[in-house]
Each structure stands twice: as C-alpha cells, then as structure tokens.
Amino acid sequence: MSGVLVIAEARQGALRDISFELITAAREISAAGSITVALIGSDPGLAAQLNATGVSEVITIASPVDHFEPHVSAAAVGRLVDELSPAVVLAGHTIDSLGFGAAVAAVKDAGFASDVTSLAWDGALTVQRGLYGDKFLQTLTFPGKETVVILVRPGTFGATSPGNGSANVRPGADVDASAVRSRHTGYREPEVGDVDITKADFLLAIGRGAGAEDESDLEPYYELAERIGATLVSSRPLVDAGLVPSARQVGQSGKTVAPKVYLALGVSGAVQHLIGMRKADTIIAVNTDPSAPIFGAAHYGSHADLSDVADALKDAFS
C-alpha cells in the first residue's frame, strides 16, 4: 500500500476550497507516495483545476445523478481503494464526506479519523485531532491498517493554487445507478456574514482584554483594522456578549483561519481559540499577562498594554 488518494469536492458546478486544501495536506505527507485526486460526479472539465503541483493523476468518475449522493461516493471511493491501494485517503471533514468516509473505512477495514488538524508521515501515518471541545489534542497512529481514511478539518491547510501541474487526467469507471439510495431536493445555503475571514491574509484579533462593554467600544479596533489593511476578528467571549458578529469568530466553535499574519490584541489564547488560528504564517501576540497561552503559539510577543500598541499602530499608519 502506498500513495495518497484525495477526494475532491464540488457543488453547483464549482470546486470547493477544501479540494485544494486537501492537496496541500497530501503534500505534507508526500513521503507516503504519489498523489492521486478523484473527482466524483461533477463536470470533468473541473479536473484541469485539480491538476495542481504535486499531483500525479486526476481521475474523473461519472455519477448517475447530477448532485452529491453519499452512496455513489462510497461506491466510487471503495472501488478506487481496491484499484489504487492507497496508504491514505484524504477527504474533508464536511457534510458531504461525513456521509461516506466512515462507511468506506468500515467496509474496507481501514483506519479512520475525523476532524484531523495535523498529519505527518514517517514510514506510517500519524495524525492529531481535538478532544473534548479541543481542550486536548489526541495523537493517533494506525498499526496494522494498510489504508487509513482521514477527514481533514476545513481551513487547517492553505489552499494550493489550481492548475500548474503535469498530472495525467483520465476517466475512471462509472458508478451504476443501483448505488443511488437518496433523493436530492435542493440546496439551502447558510446565511452569509458580512465578511469571509477564512480568505483574509491579515487578521487583527481582539479578545476579552479589549475591555469592550458596548459595540461602540470596538469602533477604534475596526478603524485600526481598516487603517493597517487587516480584517477584524475576535475570540468567543466578545461574540457570546453580542458585541461581534459570529461570522468574525475564530476558534473551535467559529472559523479556522490560516492568514499570512495574525495580530492578536488582548487574546488570552484558550486552546479552543488556538486550534482555529495556529496555522497562521506569523502570529503576533500582545497581552499584559506574560503567562497567557497565546504566547506559546506566537512567533512574536509583547507584554505591553494593547491600547498603547493600538495607538502606536494608528500613528505609524496615519
């Protein structure tokens, strides 16, 4: 058994970001072997985008229905496991993959882990995932399992650039209509917030240390974020207090982000928050408490008062 099989996701004619994040994750464990990407039941024309750097092969599989169907995906992935004998199968920890990932692992007697946030390969696969609301990190290995099915938390890995590769693109065997066991009735998308923080390169995070008691107390931080070219986000306490929209929350119960720069002002760094931002390229923390957990994740830190830092930034970017 060798190689990594990535299961891409598409919806309503477009590839989802998780598809490209999974390719990045696969490259993290490229020592496991070549990377194959499978696109099931979507427009084969999308395969060109999945032909990214590091991908050896893209396989398109036609579906008897024109929407996601978990039993069709389970049949297709099971057949690919038989054909390719991959060491690792990567899919997203998403509403789609949750419908077939564990089922494939059970049928194929494969290892399985969901909501994974870290992968490593040293002759065998090791992964990490959160436990008890991400208060603890669990490390898993899979002795005796020739294939392991992993569902990766969206937003954990940066998305690789589409295209730019030299992979072989080929059709796979179609899935028979007898595999279909559910009926699609339509899409109902979640309400969109005022901003998509997962796509921002520079995030200014504020926490309880901002001392806000009213939404108006946060106006200076919104202004600062705009002045320095950042997007304002927050930890959970400010969202729970109704001061910041939930669309701007970072953490286990919010969004997972991976910006180039994460500037945290007055964020203590509870593990639930850290799990949502620790993949940032550069983390800068400002907190008057020298023992704040945020400093354990930060690349740069200061024990200064966040108001002084905010004022200095305003002056520097005025």
268-280 per-position pLDDT tens digit: 998 888 888 988 9
Secondary structure (3-state) at 299: coil
What CATH number is given to the structural domain containing 287? 3.40.50.1220
Structural domain ending residue among the three candidates 148, 179, 210:
179
For residue 41, with 0-12 CB atoms within 10 Å meaning exposed, 13-18 middle and 19 or more buried, which class applies? buried
Check whether residue 38 and residue 161 sit in a common domain. yes
- 9 within domain boundaries: yes
How many residues comprise the chain? 318
Question: Is the pLDDT reported for residue 187 higher than 80?
Answer: no
In this prediction, residue 3 carries a pLDDT of 95
Please give the angle made by the CA atoms of 137, 138 and 139, to the nearest 5 degrees: 120
Residue 188 CA to residue 209 CA, distance in Å, equals: 37
Q: Which range is least confidently modeled, 22-36, 166-180, 295-309? A: 166-180
Q: How confident is the model at residue 133 (pLDDT cuts 50, 70, 90)?
A: low
pLDDT given for residue 141 in this prediction: 97
Looking at the structure, tell me whether residues 16 and 162 fall in a common domain. Answer: yes
User: What local confidence, expressed as pLDDT, does residue 75 receive?
Assistant: 96
Q: Which band of pLDDT confidence, cut at 50, 70 and 90, is reported for residue 145?
A: very high
pLDDT of residue 179: 87
* Confidence check: pLDDT of 189 > 70: no
Same domain, 173 and 210: no
- Same domain membership, residue 24 and residue 95: yes
Query: What confidence score (pLDDT) does residue 191 get?
Result: 59
Mean pLDDT, rounded, of the chain? 91
Domain enclosing residue 295, as ranges: 197-316
What is the per-residue pLDDT for 278?
85
- List phi, psi (to 5°) of 209: -65, -15
Confidence of residue 190 (pLDDT cuts 50, 70, 90): low
- What is the total count of domains within the chain? 2
How confident is the model over 236-268, as pLDDT tens digits? 999 999 999 989 999 877 888 989 999 999 999
Q: Is a pLDDT exceeding 70 seen at residue 230?
A: yes
Of 156-170, 171-185, 281-295, which has the strongest mean pLDDT? 281-295
Flag whether pLDDT at 140 surpasses 70.
yes
Average pLDDT for 104-121: 96
Please tell me whether residues 232 and 298 are part of one structural domain. Answer: yes
130 or 203: which leads in pLDDT: 203
More confident residue, 212 or 20: 20
Query: Is residue 189 in a domain?
Result: no
In the chain, the percentage of residues whose pLDDT exceeds 90 is 66
The pLDDT value recorded for residue 227 is 94
Same domain, 211 and 156: no
**pLDDT at 116 > cutoff 70:** yes
115 contacts 130 by C-beta, under 8 angstroms: yes
| Sheet containing strand 202-206, strands side by side | 231-234, 202-206, 261-265, 282-286, 300-302
Cα distance between the two ends of the chain: 58
Only one residue has tokens 């969206």, namely: 154
What is residue 150's three-state secondary structure?
A: strand
Residue 195: exposure state from Cβ atoms within 10 A (0-12, 13-18, ≥19): middle
